[in-house]
């Protein structure tokens, strides 16, 4: 076998010889036979000189060329839909890249370079393809984020990108447009997603397509949670193969970048559109560890390179090749991250790149034997320390003041570079004693095995923001959707193919199940999307996982293609036997009947529940034709499934809340119920962290006042119900405007801008029954003193107490408090309304909620709508309660920096923020809830009723992994020894957890291992407190006030 592979006796080093032998085992696809006379050897492009060896650099290292006829033959044999500009190949003993060059002769020719030739081989003349250039998305990772942050990119940029990604991927579970975009961009499955949606098929409610969405979502969440992989928009960044400029037009510092459309738009008919990127671009290759590994270049538009698409073209001249500047890379198939997102371009110039050794491996002293090869392989397994080195670099980069520029990090980065070449050089490197970290940042999740600390760099912020998604992923086992049949795919006469469809289905499912069992893949969606999150431990290594996903992609693609061939071959045989092969109408009718039969037997309610639904979508294009001919009545479509589920519960009186009859009150009542269930609202009575009702109303008002949620002011039913519930008989309109010493007031709690907080003027007196002084009124000559008076009456649980200036009907109504009236009333104002009314008009009563009398003569001229009866249908421009609740959750996620100023009611408390607003806790809880809702489509995550048969009961109180904390403070040591119960009670009171268990460990020092039980956000806050250096002093004083308020710690 070794003789057949090639001649390796000219390679005197065992490491390099083994690497070249391994080249023969690359996972390739045999493409085209290329005879020796069709091969040309061309010289490499050289220039510059290595600073140590003085050898010239090779700018074309690993990249050759191919003519257009050869490329077209490759496309045809591989059945490629698009024509790639470059391919990674293996040919005889050569390896590397081939780029199409239209200037070559118009005949089948292969151009190789000396740098591509690794060993002589005469046993194969076939060109084997490893991968082809194609549009590929980009995700940031921890090393790259670390470098960019320390090169000067603000932390807010990464937080915004992560927030956008979370919302995009979560919205895809409930929004068709986002679902199509996500599946088109991330799922490695060529299906007409957009055509299906346009034909009236709802992907988010189909069990197969939802399994694809959940596979992509789960993969994304796992990447965020454990690797901080932030997906970048495909129109701002790409992963590209690198090639060299053979025209000589690119200068040092210049690159050419052209990308094709990706996502839903690329799936439309016709060739994808291409875009040439110009201006500054960020380029790097993973792994990137050195400050010089991430570089900026100038992308230019060069017409002579327009034939190169989805590749980055580097110049072939200069003092050093750009790929070599980035982690010592070359062009034999390496992929490069190319980013043109302006916010990620670091300020200043490129840092000096690392110099990599170019010396050849030392030759062996004698002839290489089989035992030498076996010994090398054993050494390779034993010395695979890249993971240990990378973890050490990440830990030191986070905790060292100089970060990636520190002596330790630079030394470890060089050692990692040596280890990466171990397979070819045989050289390895190890950490010295002083290079082994003693402490690890919290985002590395070392638990009780290592000492952790709270990272204040951007990776720590990102980690603490997204860990709420863990709870959402835990609900992936729900029965999310009903697998009922879509009537639009029920074609009359499909029963004639029923028995054949059942046989084909059984064969298909057997072959698919074999793939799942072979790799231990948990679900059909993961296999078909080629995004595997659950697999057997044999493929536990990251490289094995990637290789396994590539193999699964090829196996599922082959399964789909062969199943599709069976469909059309059987149909053609049947038509030929009946002499109908030329009857276009009959051929189309039977094709649709057969496709319908495949769908109907797969989705049959009488079929055993196998959880496999991909079979009929092998002929998805035919099903699209069926859908296009169906009537609208046959298609089921729910544009907002989450809101509808909530509204259905309200309509069926299944929501036990007393929020009034209008959508705004009902939504607020559901939100209040949800936060009480999360123990985040009204917990200040027992000292636990809690948000008071006044601050919740402020947040609700900010939400209603946001421009994104502006709706028409003609929602008469909502106004009528709001005023009727509050028993206010008339409301006056007051001219808006600013006089000296007055604020432009649009509601008691309406303004969200910081600068308006000082200017806000509030009523000096509250006159029951309406008028400019009423709390429910809009505008007026207002003063802030009385507002402090009523709100100062808020009780410890956040409820409003009796106030002499409030109407008695409001004093005894929790839900109909004047502040809620004002919030809802202000939300009804048209944000674009600029018309002012004089004082006489403001004094006239407009609304008569309890009366259905005809409008007054002057009302029509004023443009005033008459309130309808309470049982009238909702206005078309009035949002439903379900819509408001879902939008409120998303709004909280989009406003992660909610105010943290003093609570104006002096009620919010707990966790050391005594007297401070607790609204900063909302986004994390909202993130978990919205994600869980989107995954499960189950309103029970809001505390609403649900079908208990859909899932197991939720584990609301959990126990987390223990955290190991060093005890270096002698006073704290004595405190724990003498009064450990007092420490436990303080931690429980500050964080709200149900229980805290503290265990001593003596291992060359004093440690405590802390285990807690409670809600996730409570446990996370406890973990952050435990990692604070000042915690011993805070426990000694029995208070966190001076540490949190003065120092501003733990604000995230």
Point out which residues pair with 1006 in neighbouring strands.
Answer: 1002
SS (H, E, C) 665-686: HHHHHHHHHHHHHCCCECCHHH
Q: Is the torsion defined by CA of 43, 48, 50, 52 positive or negative? A: positive
Q: The pTM is what?
A: 0.78
Q: Which two tokens stand for residue 1019?
A: 């446990």
Q: Which two tokens stand for residue 229?
A: 């992989």
CA 248 to chain centre: 41
SS (H, E, C) 578-606: CCCCCCHHHHHHHHHHHHHHHHHHHCCCC
Smallest CA-to-CA distance from 932 within 462, 463, 524, 478 is with 478
Report the C-alpha gap between 150 and 155 in whole angstroms.
10
Q: How many CB atoms lie within 10 A of CB 136?
A: 18
One DSSP character per residue, 992-1047 reads --SEEEEEEEESSSEEEEEEEEE-HHHHHHHHHHHT-TTHHHHHHHT--HIIIIIT
Report the C-alpha gap between 673 and 646 in whole angstroms.
14
Cite the DSSP H helix spans in 456-523.
458-466, 469-473, 498-519
Report the C-alpha gap between 293 and 276 in whole angstroms.
24
Catalogue all structural domains in the chain, each as residue range(s) with its CATH number. Answer: 1-134 (no CATH), 139-145+232-344 (2.40.40.20), 165-224+507-633 (no CATH), 641-713+877-944 (no CATH), 956-1044 (3.30.1370)
CA dihedral 539, 541, 542, 545 (to 10 degrees): -10
What helix, strand, coil percent values describe the chain, rounded to 5? Answer: 45, 10, 45
The CA distances from residue 795 to 183, 351, 375, in Å, are: 50, 59, 76
- For the chain, list residues with pLDDT below 50: 478, 684-687, 710-818, 830-875, 898-899, 911-917, 1045-1052
CB neighbour class for 743 (10 Å; exposed up to 12, middle 13-18, buried from 19): middle
E strand residue ranges, 52-164: 57-58, 63-66, 86-91, 94-100, 110-112, 126-132, 139-140
Please state whether 129 falls in left (phi above 0), alpha (psi between -120 and 50) or beta. beta
The CA radius of gyration of the chain, in Å to the nearest whole number, is 34
Please give the angle made by the CA atoms of 195, 197 and 200, to the nearest 5 degrees. Answer: 110
Q: Which two tokens stand for residue 615?
A: 């079979």
Q: Is the torsion defined by CA of 25, 26, 32, 37 positive or negative? A: negative
SS (H, E, C) 77-94: HHCCCCCCCEEEEEECCE
> Burial letters for 873-891: b for 16+ Cβ neighbours within 10 Å, e otherwise?
ebbeebbbbbbbbbbbbbb
At residue 571, the pLDDT reads 92
At residue 88, the pLDDT reads 92
Which of the 8 DSSP states describes residue 902?
Answer: B
Q: How many CB atoms lie within 10 A of CB 1024?
A: 18
Q: Which two tokens stand for residue 218?
A: 């789960």
pLDDT in tens, 947-982: 655 555 555 677 777 878 777 778 787 888 788 888
The H or E element spanning position 441 is strand 439-441
Give the count of alpha carbons within 13 A of 741, CB side only.
4
Contact between residue 141 and residue 286 where contact means Cβ atoms under 8 Å apart: yes
């Amino acid at each position: 076998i070794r003789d057949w592979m090639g001649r390796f006796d000219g390679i005197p080093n065992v490491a390099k010889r083994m690497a070249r032998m391994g080249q023969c085992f690359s996972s390739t696809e045999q493409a085209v036979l290329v005879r020796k006379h069709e091969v040309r050897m061309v010289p490499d492009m050289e220039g510059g000189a290595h600073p140590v060896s003085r050898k010239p650099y090779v700018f074309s290292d690993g990249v050759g060329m191919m003519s257009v006829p050869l490329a077209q033959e490759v496309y045809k044999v591989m059945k490629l839909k698009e024509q790639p500009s470059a391919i990674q190949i293996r040919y005889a003993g050569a390896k590397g890249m081939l780029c199409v060059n239209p200037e070559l002769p118009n005949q089948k020719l292969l151009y190789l370079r000396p740098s591509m030739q690794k060993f002589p081989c005469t046993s194969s003349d076939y060109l084997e393809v490893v991968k082809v250039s194609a549009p590929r998305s980009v995700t940031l990772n921890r090393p790259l984020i670390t470098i960019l942050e320390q090169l000067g990119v603000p932390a807010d940029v990464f937080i915004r990108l992560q927030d956008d990604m979370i919302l995009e991927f979560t919205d895809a579970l409930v929004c068709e447009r986002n679902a199509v975009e996500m599946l088109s961009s991330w799922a490695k499955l060529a299906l007409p997603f957009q055509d299906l949606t346009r034909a009236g098929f709802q992907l988010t409610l189909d069990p197969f397509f939802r399994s694809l969405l959940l596979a992509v979502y789960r993969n994304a969440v796992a990447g965020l949670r454990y690797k901080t992989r932030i997906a970048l928009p495909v129109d701002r960044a790409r992963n590209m193969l690198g090639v060299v400029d053979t025209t000589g037009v690119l200068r040092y510092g210049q690159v050419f970048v052209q990308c094709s459309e990706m996502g839903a738009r690329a799936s439309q008919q016709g060739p994808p559109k291409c875009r040439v990127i110009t201006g500054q671009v960020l380029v790097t290759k993973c792994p990137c560890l050195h400050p010089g590994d991430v570089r900026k270049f100038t992308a230019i538009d060069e017409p002579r390179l327009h034939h190169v698409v989805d590749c980055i073209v580097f110049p072939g001249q200069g003092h050093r090749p750009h790929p070599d500047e980035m982690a010592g890379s070359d062009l034999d198939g390496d992929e490069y991250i190319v980013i043109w997102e302006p916010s990620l371009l670091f300020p200043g110039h490129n840092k000096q790149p690392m110099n990599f050794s170019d010396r050849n491996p030392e030759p062996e002293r004698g002839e290489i034997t089989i035992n030498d090869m076996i010994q090398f392989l054993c050494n390779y397994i034993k010395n695979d320390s890249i993971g240990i080195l990378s973890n050490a670099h990440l830990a030191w980069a986070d905790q060292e003041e100089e970060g990636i520029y520190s002596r330790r990090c630079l030394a470890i980065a060089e050692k990692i570079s040596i280890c990466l070449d171990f397979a070819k050089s045989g050289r390895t490197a190890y950490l010295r004693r002083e290079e082994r970290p003693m402490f690890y940042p919290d985002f590395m999740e070392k638990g009780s095995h290592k000492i952790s600390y709270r990272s204040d760099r951007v990776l720590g912020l990102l980690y603490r923001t997204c860990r709420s998604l863990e709870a959402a992923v835990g609900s992936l086992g729900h029965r999310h959707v009903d697998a009922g049949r879509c009537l639009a795919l029920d074609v009359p006469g499909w029963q004639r193919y029923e028995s054949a469809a059942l046989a084909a289905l059984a064969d298909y499912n057997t072959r698919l199940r074999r793939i799942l069992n072979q790799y231990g893949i948990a679900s059909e969606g993961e296999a078909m999307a080629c995004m595997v999150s659950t697999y057997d431990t044999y493929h536990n290594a990251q490289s094995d996982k990637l290789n396994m996903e590539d193999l699964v992609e090829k196996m599922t693609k082959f399964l789909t293609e062969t199943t599709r061939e069976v469909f059309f071959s059987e149909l053609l045989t049947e038509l030929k036997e009946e002499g109908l092969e030329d009857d276009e109408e009959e051929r189309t009718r039977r094709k649709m009947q057969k496709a319908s039969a495949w769908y109907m037997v797969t989705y049959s309610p009488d079929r055993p529940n196998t959880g496999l639904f991909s079979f009929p979508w092998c002929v998805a294009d035919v099903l699209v034709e069926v859908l296009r001919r169906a009537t609208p009545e046959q298609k089921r479509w729910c544009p907002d499934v989450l809101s509808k589920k909530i509204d259905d519960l309200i309509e069926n009186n299944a929501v036990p809340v007393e929020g009034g009859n209008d959508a705004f009150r009902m939504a607020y009542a559901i939100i209040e119920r949800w936060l009480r269930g999360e123990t985040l609202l009204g917990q200040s009575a027992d000292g636990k962290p809690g948000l008071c009702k006044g601050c919740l109303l402020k947040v609700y008002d900010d939400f209603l006042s946001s421009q994104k949620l502006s709706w028409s002011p003609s929602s008469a039913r909502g106004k009528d119900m709001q005023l009727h519930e509050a028993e206010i008989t008339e409301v006056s309109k007051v001219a808006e405007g600013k006089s000296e010493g007055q604020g432009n007031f649009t509601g008691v709690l309406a303004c969200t801008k910081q600068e308006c907080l000082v200017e806000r003027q509030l009523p000096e007196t509250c006159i029951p029954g309406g008028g400019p002084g009423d709390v429910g009124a809009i505008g007026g000559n207002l003063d802030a003193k009385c507002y402090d008076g009523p709100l100062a009456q808020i009780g410890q649980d956040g409820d409003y107490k009796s106030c002499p200036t409030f109407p008695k009907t409001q004093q005894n109504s929790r839900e109909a408090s004047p502040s809620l009236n004002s919030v809802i009333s202000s939300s009804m104002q048209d944000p674009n309304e600029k018309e002012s009314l004089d004082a006489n008009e403001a004094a006239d009563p407009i609304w008569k909620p309890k009366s259905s009398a005809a409008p007054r003569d002057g009302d029509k001229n004023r443009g005033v709508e008459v309130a309808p009866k309470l049982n009238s249908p909702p206005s078309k421009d009035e949002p439903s309660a379900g819509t408001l609740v879902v939008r409120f959750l998303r709004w909280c996620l989009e406003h992660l920096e909610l105010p943290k100023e003093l609570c104006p009611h002096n009620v919010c408390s707990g966790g050391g923020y005594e007297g401070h607003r607790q609204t900063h806790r909302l986004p994390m809880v909202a993130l978990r809830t919205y994600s869980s809702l989107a995954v499960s489509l189950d309103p029970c995550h809001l505390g609403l009723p649900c079908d208990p048969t859909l899932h197991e009961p939720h584990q609301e109180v959990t126990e987390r992994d223990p955290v190991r904390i060093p005890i270096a403070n002698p006073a704290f040591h004595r405190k724990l020894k003498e009064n450990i119960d007092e420490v436990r009670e303080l931690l429980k009171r500050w964080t709200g957890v149900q229980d805290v268990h503290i265990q001593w460990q003596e291992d060359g020092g004093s440690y405590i291992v802390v285990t807690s039980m409670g809600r996730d956000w409570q446990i996370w806050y406890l973990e952050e407190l435990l990692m604070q250096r000042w915690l011993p002093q805070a426990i000694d004083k029995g208070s966190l006030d001076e540490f949190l308020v003065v120092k501003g710690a733990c604000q995230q």
